[in-house]
Amino acid sequence: MHTLEAKIRAANAVGRPALIPFLTAHFPDRAAFWTAFDELDGGGADIIEIGVPFSDPVADGPVVEEASRRVLAAGFRLDDLLAELAQRRERRAGSAGLVLMGYLNPFLSHGLERLAADAAMAGVSGCIIPDLPHEEAGPVRAALGARGLALIPLVGPNTGEERMALCAGGAQGYVYVVSVMGVTGERAALAPRVAETMARARRAVRLPLALGFGLSRPEQLAELPPKARPDAVVFGSALLRHLDAGGTAADFLRRWR
């Protein structure tokens, strides 16, 4: 069992969904990012998704897009992030699994084999690449897999059951279920189609299902029938807004525990 799947299964075994907070790297600034990272890592996050800023974030809503813009303007470099993660690996506050969520261009610019090697050295266990179609994912999956990293597939309301099975076939870790058509961001309620999307994914996929895009508070999960509730929850925009307003990651995570 891949380490990311094991993290989620362990949370489910004690009766709760795994918690997967999303942080844009070096946001609101480098020091604040590492403070938030440590609070999440030591405060009960099962997996932390670290967003790799990109100038054309087609899947990101206004909060994540603005976070990326600010971080890039401050001189963000993927090399720096991976080196910092590697340096901190032995003295981390906790043991959350780590996933890089970013677009294909920065990863190609870094070099796929080099990315996999550097990410593995940094303690990263997987990558999510929203703009990478399944049909073009072979070289990326091979490079990551050679270092034990999972390429996490995404499925959504417009993904048929057969294609869900295709995208998840041979995958490791978990499958990211996008709750809505569109971009990331907080929403007052879950979209009506989420339960149906989750039901299709349950039939098609053997891996744990992580639900994201639009989650901002734990009460939203109660809107779903028990059988449609995810194995893991991803929350990003609401956390970034909280941090940018001066709140702490520890306080935000407490709402979900």
Catalytic residue among 39, 46, 60, 65: 60
Does residue 60 have an active-site annotation? Answer: yes
Three-state SS for 144?
Answer: helix
Token pair of 90, please?
């032995």
Torsion of CA 234, 238, 243, 249, to 10 degrees: -40
- Among the listed residues 159, 136, 140, 165, the one whose alpha carbon sits nearest the alpha carbon of residue 151: 140
70 close to 30: Cβ distance less than 8 angstroms: no
CA distance 99 to 36: 16
Selecting among 46, 49, 65, 231, the annotated active-site residue is: 49
Strand spans (E) along the chain: 18-24, 47-51, 97-101, 126-128, 150-152, 154-155, 175-178, 209-212, 232-235
Question: Cβ(216)–Cβ(237) under 8 Å?
Answer: yes
Q: Name residues whose C-beta falls within 8 Å of residue 151's C-beta, 6 or more positions apart in sequence.
A: 126, 127, 128, 129, 137, 140, 141, 144, 145, 171, 172
Positions annotated as catalytic residues are: 49, 60
